[in-house]
Amino acid sequence: MRYVSMTGTGGPEVLQLDEMEAPQPAAGEVVIRVAFAGVNRPDVLQRQGGYPAPPGASPVLGLEVSGQVCAVGAGVTAFSVGDRVCALTNGGGYAEQVAVAASQCLPVPEGLSLQQAAAIPETFFTVWSNVFERGRLQPGETLLIHGGASGIGTTAIQMARVMGARVIVTASSRTKCDACSELGADLAINYSTHDFVEEVKSFTDGRGADVILDMVGGDYIARNLKTAAVEGRIINIAYLRGSKVEINLMPVMLKRLTLTGSTLRSQSLQAKAAIAAALQQQIWPKLAAGELAPCMAGVFPLQRVADAHRLMESHDLIGKLVLEMPVAG
């Protein structure tokens, strides 16, 4: 099968098409003939050498796919050959076939294309586990999302909205703010021209945000403490501006704040299976009903994977990028 290999770590130019043996399913796994593969920031970090695959995972890039099941391992009863699925992988998604634990697969939501389905797993798993499980976001509460126009951000806006929460986002331009508003954000703050601390306080009548989802870090860490409501929950899932800062932690005590965070890839099979089950119960019916959908920024053929990575690194996109696999033969 064809897949994307790396000549080393570095810029997008290290990515190239190569060939390798197709995988065979182990017990509890299925093999998916990949139609589309999502492109995510962890892929960029891994390519740069900053996010190596965990032990036992495929070193090939790619953390989410959509396609059809083409082989089933021992003990798998939930899926059969020919089923249309999307899946959170532990690596290996940038390939024509990938072996995945069946418990990390979900049926393609009714009414969605395989192209759309490939843009679901990584962000939906991440948002559900962090915003709704760790952050315990409740109907009527206010969620602040930094990086609202990203794949994570556009997903979090919609998921929070359909679950009954108010949504505030920050973004870098008026165009991105407008896109976030169209997806359902109640307030979109252009951080290039406005102070999000003051804007959030004003919008919430001084109360602040109940949950803050932060991918930025750096100076945002201290500003999040000022922005959070009493009993607020702050979740970090990335540190684009750095993770080492000097801050005054007194607000954590005075406002009884919770500071938490997580990464997804290194979590156990059981943890990922639990997230998948929760999504299928809570979110899949809403996807099928058209209440939310992945926000698509672009589709690249597999041979243009380097261009997809360049666009991801430019931050000049709204939503998700996916790779389309070559037609067989």
Q: Where in the chain is the domain with CATH 3.40.50.720?
A: 124-261
The three-class DSSP label of residue 37 is: strand
Give the residue-averaged pLDDT of 17-23. Answer: 97
Has residue 19 got a pLDDT over 60?
Answer: yes
What does the pLDDT read at residue 328?
Answer: 54
CB atoms under 10 Å from CB of 197, counted, come to 17
What integer is the mean pLDDT of 226-231? 98
Cβ proximity of 217 and 234 under 8 Å: no
For the domain made up of 124-261, the CATH class stated in words is: alpha beta
Q: Which residues contact 278 (CB under 8 A, 6 or more apart)?
A: 128, 133
pTM: 0.96
Task: Dig out the tokens for 151 from the structure.
Answer: 């794949």
Q: For residue 187, what are the β-bridge partners?
A: 168
d(CA 147, CA 185): 12
**What is the third-level CATH fold of 2-120+265-324?**
Quinone Oxidoreductase; Chain A, domain 1 (3.90.180)
To the nearest whole number, what is the mean pLDDT of the chain? 97
What are the pLDDT digits (tens) for 75-116? 999 999 999 999 999 999 999 999 999 999 999 999 999 999
pLDDT above 50 for 329: no
Residues 182-199 have pLDDT tens digits of 999 999 999 999 999 999
Residues carrying CATH 3.90.180.10, the chain: 2-120+265-324
254-308 pLDDT per residue, tens: 999 999 999 999 899 999 999 999 999 999 999 999 999 999 999 999 999 999 9
Going by C-beta distance under 8 Å and a sequence separation of 6 or more, which residues neighbour residue 318?
149, 154, 175, 176, 179, 295, 297
Q: What is the pLDDT of residues 300-324, one digit of tens each?
A: 999 999 999 999 999 899 999 999 9
Structure tokens at 174: 């008026």
pLDDT tens digits for range 120-137: 999 999 999 999 999 999
